[in-house]
A and B are shown apart, each in its own frame.
Chain A
């Protein structure tokens, strides 16, 4: 989005105030309202969709496949598709690899385990249909919903196949819910001495810098890193601001998780 010099300076001034005055009237720790759907893709093991008030929309589908553990090193595969971006741009590849590292590390392999020889491998397909702000938060939220509502076929054959091999066989109708904690990622924009969560496109455009802060199991985790939210003015960030941003996330994270968990 291109802002005129006047618009830019007006916005910047407002956001510099204490407390910051955001164009849509939110407080610095307030999210835009989101709308979610889950479990609408019959063919997937888990699916979710989130629509933001600005029209950004993300769909995640989770499929599970039975793999032999000895021949598979990663039990999670992530595929990202953002409309308007080619698959091989660094933007997409970055998103993809950060998501993959996140999930590989934090989806427990016990929850995917089937037998001594076999396990499920999850294929997480993230599709951003339209996007007006930095999409990582949206993507992790949607994935969170999808993972939280993933149902895996129930194994009926013997679980111990170490000595006597069995080909896994499954119940024809029943599923087990995928149990576990899943990470999410927050985006914080830094403007002057202020930090605001979930910046919208105008806020991103005038921000000095951006931070992504990951959250898992009740505490912030790595990666916490800066991210370029616009093409122009990137300024350095005081360490103090980073700590404050993390505190902000700590303040809101549990509420976010609770509201995501209550999604139906």
Chain B
């Protein structure tokens, strides 16, 4: 390879300038936008078989020359007349990115810039996937900037739609490549657009539909399954003749107009997990969420979609359904056309409706609820979904052609997806990943396509992967450039022995700023078997009688520098995810379990918060330091408890621990006095058989005093740090808030309590709530109080991360902990919030300057949004994992347990079993055959039904019932769950 002469072109050398003109509609205005557009003649084709492009190479800003990627000997397919490169159009990428990523097909692919831009506008996630495909050399994907190349640029013609212009640009590029490579290598344009293919053949370009192209491969038949639904590419004229099951969405102009004048509403739709035909949407103007009932009104929206809704006429207002509705039960022939003559209502009437809706929702006699209808989708929440093929939807004929079948998704609130596959029989009983392509008005179910199989359902591997995928947890191993950010010494990394050594100082000039706390008697207390030790503690009596208490947190930010690839990966993962048998780390193992982990007997870097506390645990003074510590011991909660309880132990470390315990009790009392809540959730732990990794038994987590000891000091550290960083960075401090629950959340619970137990919970303040919860005691049932706490927890708002500029100070309040300001600081190994808090605190004590990303309000908001989402997903994934394993445990031990009714429907009840922390639906049809004989008293939350032996039985909410717990495999979704059967 010859080194090309390096040339730089200036404007004066004849760079061509042209202008792009277009109209941008924004907020009802039409602005004419003119962009200057520079054309170059030095864009290389990046093909190794090209002999011309070396002459025009120019280095980029870093002086790097472009890399030639396309193979000189690409795949030779005879039917295409020899070796070939592929050009794909936008729709191919949007619909079948999975196929492009598949390593059996699609090598040497040219992505025109036109296509790349279109993909970016349509879907950012797919754009990122495409970008990473282009980055990795493995599949030899390149982007050719055809819009900036003199020879391939095409100007939009009058009366030409932008799509036609782009198609023409792609064809022009194909022609150019064909000519440029002197016919040595053929160019194949893959597009499913028939008109485009016709135009291409006129231009003498080889073009194929995706199906045709895949068919050319020897293993094409197998790959054909991965091709998305064909008809998603069809133009809309297929509408004629077939019945439309749904109404078309309103045009954007109508949506915008309606949103602006307040007659339409936008929000995220939340579909009930008990009834897939009932959704709710929170609307700012209405006091309660608006109900969306029935598939016609849900109008193809998915759980979590950002949608626009309108309020329906009063005649269609309904009560929220008290039925459990499962798609399986519904007759598949049911006619979704509800035959309501659709009257056009105008905006004036809609405004009146809004007023009516507010009045109706505010009135206490909650008979009818206003209902709405989805009229537009702003943003789809579509992702990859895990599901299973519904057995009876697979045709019995064994032909080789692709047949439609239904896939039932793990998420019960979503409809079944129709896919076409040739391997339906083979895939039965497997967990499969599918992608959704479209949902037309002529189709009752969304169309999707098969992506990959995770393996047989009900196996640990498939189930774990499925739940990680379902909760969008990144579980792939860390990439090389992330691992490159780790210290070179690996596990041999040590705190330098001589802190004044020249070479050491050169490597870490900040070292002299660290305090040496190696003499302090520090220990850590964690759950047994904990390897990622975030925190350690110490306490020492001061000469003045006060206590010096230190909380030492792993100094993760010493290793994770802002802006590095490692930091970006951590920020995107947001949190570690704890499953029963597996931990998905936020940071690589080396850091989490070794270099950062405050292991005993070794020196480690830490971030220390040191208080001077008086005997009543009032803060006299607080100090923050980066430090070097040496933990003397790592205790489990139980070990620590034993050591403290053992009076004979009078060594200094134990005395310190006793002081910590004593102070923590004072702190807890202070907190409870201020109104901190003691809520409950049925947390259980699954014991694993250490040899076979089979889950053995389930137990409810026990709490020792030492748990509370650690917790109290972590809270104290978090609060102190929150104050400090908020002082220093009033606009961008990383904080955590917990909003007070709106009273409407508690309406139902309070109503149940009032009717059934003549009790109530009060909501004036967290203190009042805490006190009223304490009063909810049933002398005959000691679990009742916990039950109420569990149910209250579900009425609470979720705590969230935020940057301090996003809210006013009064809204910083953490309702549950009853403090005015709070953050997460104490677990930087497993939470990204803590990493940011560490950096901000380090800047606040002038240890090192703060990175720009943590001083920029919008960037901080992006970080918060992501970690909030990740945090939620991690919690759900953890719970799903426990649920799965509890199901596994019960496979072997069926038993009769005590359960509590927590919800009553007209055709079933929901029962919580405290022992296993599981709750499950018991359908009426499973209890008795006299289903139609049941009397549902909604205002009393009870269900009166006739048992098979003729006796009548009344079940109401809060009732203690005996249930048989067993594990069943739900064959339709392949999920093993605890199933409850009412026994008496």
- B32 adjacent to A167 (CB under 8 Å): no
In the assembled complex, the CB of B684 is this many whole angstroms from the nearest CB of chain A, namely 52
Is B895 in the interface zone, CB < 8 Å from A? no
Query: Which residue of chain B has its CB nearest to the CB of A175?
Result: B23
B263 and chain A: residue at smallest CB distance: A165
Asked whether A167 lies within 8 Å of B28 as measured between CB atoms, the reply is: yes
* Interface hub of B23, B24, B258 (most chain A Cβ within 10 A): B23
Chain A residues near B348 (CB, 8 Å)? 163
Binds A, one of B178-186, B248-256, B514-522: B248-256
Asked if residues A173 and B156 are in contact (CB atoms below 8 Å), the reply is yes
What chain B residues lie within 8 Å of A142 (beta carbons)?
none
Chain B residue at minimal CB-CB distance from A151: B32
> For the complex, what is the distance from the CA of A171 to the CA of B156, rounded to whole Å?
14
| CB-based contact A42/B347 at 8 Å | no
B30 close to A170 (CB less than 8 A)? yes
B25 touches A65 (CB 8 A): no
Using known A-B contacts A171-B23, A172-B22, A172-B23, determine if residue A166 contacts B254 with beta carbons closer than 8 Å: yes
List, in ascending order, chain B residues with CB within 8 A of A65's CB. 29
**For window 126-153 of chain A, which residues contact chain B by CB distance below 8 Å?**
152-153
Chain B 9-31 residues near chain A, CB threshold 8 A: 19, 21-25, 27-30
A118 at the interface (CB under 8 A from B): yes
Whether the Cβ atoms of A169 and B34 lie closer than 8 Å is: no
B260 touches A165 (CB 8 A): yes
A44, A158, A168, A169: which has the most chain B beta carbons within 10 Å? A169
Residue contact A118 to B28, C-beta cutoff 8 Å? yes
Residues of B within 8 Å of A169, CB to CB, are 25, 251-253, 256
Q: How far is the CB of A221 from chain B (nearest CB, A)?
A: 32
Cβ of A231 under 8 Å from chain B: no
Number of interface residues of B (CB under 8 A): 33
Contact B254 A42 (CB under 8 A): no
| B400 adjacent to chain A (CB < 8 Å) | no
By beta carbon, the residue of chain A nearest B348 is A163
Please give, as numbers and ranges, the residues of chain A lying within 8 Å of B161 by CB-CB distance.
173
Alpha-carbon distance A43/B34, docked complex (angstroms): 6
From the candidates B28, B156, B260, B347, name the one contacting A164 in the complex (CB within 8 A).
Answer: B347
Q: Is there a chain A Cβ closer than 8 Å to B261's Cβ?
A: yes
A161 interfacial contact with B, CB 8 Å: yes
A255 lies within 8 A of chain B by Cβ: no
B257, CB-defined interface residue at 8 Å: yes
Cα–Cα distance between A171 and B253 once the two chains are bound (Å): 12
Given contacts A165-B257, A165-B258, A167-B260, contact A173 B25 (CB under 8 A): no
In residues 22-68 of chain B, which contact A (Cβ within 8 Å)? Answer: 22-25, 27-30, 32, 34
Task: Decide: A167 and B256 in contact? CB cutoff 8 A.
Answer: yes
Q: Judge whether A27 is part of the interface by a CB distance below 8 angstroms.
A: no
Q: In the bound complex, how far is the Cα of B851 from the Cα of A90, in angstroms?
A: 58
CB pair A66–B257 under 8 Å, yes or no, is no
Quick check: B254 and A157 within 8 Å, CB to CB?
Answer: yes
Q: Give the residue name and chain of the A residue nearest to B24 (CB).
A: A172
Closest partner residue, chain A, to B35 (CB atom): A42
- The answer to whether A163 touches B346 (Cβ under 8 A) is yes
Chain A 152-195: CB-based contact to B (< 8 A → 1; otherwise 0): 11011110010111111111111100000000000000000000
Min CB distance A209 to B, Å, is 44
Write the B258-275 contact mask toward A (1 if CB under 8 angstroms, else 0).
101101000000000000
| In the complex, per-residue mask of A40-77: 1 if CB is within 8 Å of any chain B CB, else 0 | 00111100000000000000000011100000000000
User: Given the complex, which residues of B lie within 8 Å of A64, measured CB to CB?
Assistant: 30
Is B162 at the interface (CB under 8 A from chain A)? yes
Closest to A42 in B: B34
The smallest beta-carbon distance between A164 and chain B, in angstroms, is 6
Chain A residues closer than 8 Å to B251, beta-carbon distance: 157-158, 166, 169
Most buried by B among A152, A163, A166, A172: A166
B242 interface hit (Cβ, 8 Å): no
Closest residue of B by beta carbon distance from A154? B23
- With a 10 A CB-CB cut-off, give which of B156, B347, B348 has the most chain A CB atoms: B347
Would you give the shortest CB distance from A57 to chain B, in whole angstroms?
Answer: 23
Most chain A C-beta atoms within 10 Å of own C-beta, residue among B29, B251, B257, B260: B257
Bound form: Cα–Cα A155–B29 in Å: 10
- Specify which of B23, B29, B30, B156 lies most central, judged by the most chain A CB atoms within 10 Å of its CB: B30
A164/B254 contact (C-beta < 8 A), A45-B32, A66-B30, A153-B30 known: yes
Contact A174 B19 (CB under 8 A): no
Q: Indicate whether B159 reaches chain A with its CB closer than 8 angstroms.
A: yes
The answer to whether B347 and A174 have CB atoms under 8 Å apart is no
From B262, which residue of chain A is reached at the shortest CB distance? A165
CB-based nearest B residue for A169: B253
CA distance A45 to B29 in the complex (A): 14
Q: Bound state CA distance, A84 and B500, in angstroms?
A: 74
A169 to B23 CA separation, bound complex (whole angstroms): 10
A163 touches B32 (CB 8 A): no
Set of chain B residues within 8 Å of A44, measured between Cβ atoms: 32
Contact A43 B32, beta carbon cutoff 8 Å: yes
**8 Å CB contacts to A: which residues of B546-580?**
none
The answer to whether A173 and B253 have CB atoms under 8 Å apart is no
Contacts of A161 in B (CB 8 A): 257
User: What chain A residues lie within 8 Å of B261 (beta carbons)?
Assistant: 165
Residues of B near A158 (CB, < 8 A) are: 251, 253-254
* Cβ-defined contact, A170 with B23, below 8 A: yes
> Chain B nearest CB: distance from A120 CB in Å?
9
* Closest beta carbon of chain B to A109's beta carbon, Å: 18
CB contact between A173 and one of B22, B255, B344 (< 8 Å): that residue? B22
Q: Contact flags (1/0) for A64-101 with B, using CB distance below 8 Å?
A: 11100000000000000000000000000000000000
Distance in angstroms from B515 CB to nearest chain A CB is 61
Contacts of B256 in A (CB 8 A): 166-167, 169
Pick from B22, B30, B344: contact of A168, CB under 8 Å: B30
B253 touches A157 (CB 8 A): yes
For residue A105, give the distance in angstroms from its CB to the closest CB of chain B.
26
List residues of B (138-176) whose CB comes within 8 Å of A's CBs: 156, 158-162
A155 CA / B252 CA spacing, docked (Å): 13
B162 contacts across to A, CB distance below 8 A: 172-173
A42 B21 Cβ-Cβ under 8 A? yes
Which B residues are in CB contact (< 8 Å) with A152? 30
Chain B residues, CB < 8 A from A153:
23, 25, 30, 32
In the complex, the answer to whether B346 meets A168 with C-beta atoms within 8 Å is no
Cross-chain contact of B159 among A157, A167, A170, A174 (Cβ < 8 A): A174
Distance in Å: Cβ of B235 to nearest Cβ of chain A: 19
Complex Cα gap A138–B23 (Å) = 31
Q: Which chain B residues border A166 with CB–CB below 8 Å?
A: 251, 253-254, 256-258
Q: Interface digits, B659-690 against A, CB 8 Å rule (1 contact, 0 not)? A: 00000000000000000000000000000000
In chain B, positions 830-867 with a C-beta closer than 8 Å to chain A are none
Cβ contacts under 8 Å, B254 to chain A:
157-158, 164-167
The complex places the Cα of A111 from the Cα of B253 at a distance, in Å, of 22
Which residue of B has the minimal Cβ distance to A162?
A: B346
- Measured CB to CB, the closest approach of chain A to B180, in angstroms, equals 30
A232 vs B160: C-alpha distance in the bound complex, in angstroms? 60
In the complex, chain B residues whose CB is within 8 Å of the CB of A155:
30
A65, B26: Cα distance in complex, Å: 11
Q: Which residues from chain A contact B27 at a C-beta distance below 8 Å?
A: 167
User: A47: shortest Cβ distance to chain B, in Å?
Assistant: 11
Interface contacts beyond A166-B251, A167-B27: sample of 11 additional A-B pairs, CB < 8 Å, sorted by A? A44-B32, A45-B32, A66-B30, A158-B253, A163-B346, A163-B347, A166-B253, A167-B252, A169-B25, A173-B160, A174-B158
Question: What are 28 A-B residue pairs whose CB atoms fall within 8 Å in the complex?
Answer: A42-B19, A42-B34, A45-B32, A118-B28, A153-B25, A155-B30, A156-B253, A157-B252, A157-B254, A158-B253, A158-B254, A164-B257, A164-B258, A164-B346, A165-B257, A165-B263, A165-B347, A166-B251, A166-B253, A166-B256, A166-B258, A167-B254, A167-B256, A168-B29, A169-B252, A172-B22, A172-B24, A172-B25
- Chain A positions within 8 Å of B, measured between CB atoms, are 42-45, 64-66, 118, 152-153, 155-158, 161, 163-175
Q: Which 8 A-B pairs have the closest CB atoms?
A: A157-B253, A167-B256, A163-B346, A153-B30, A165-B257, A169-B253, A166-B257, A167-B257
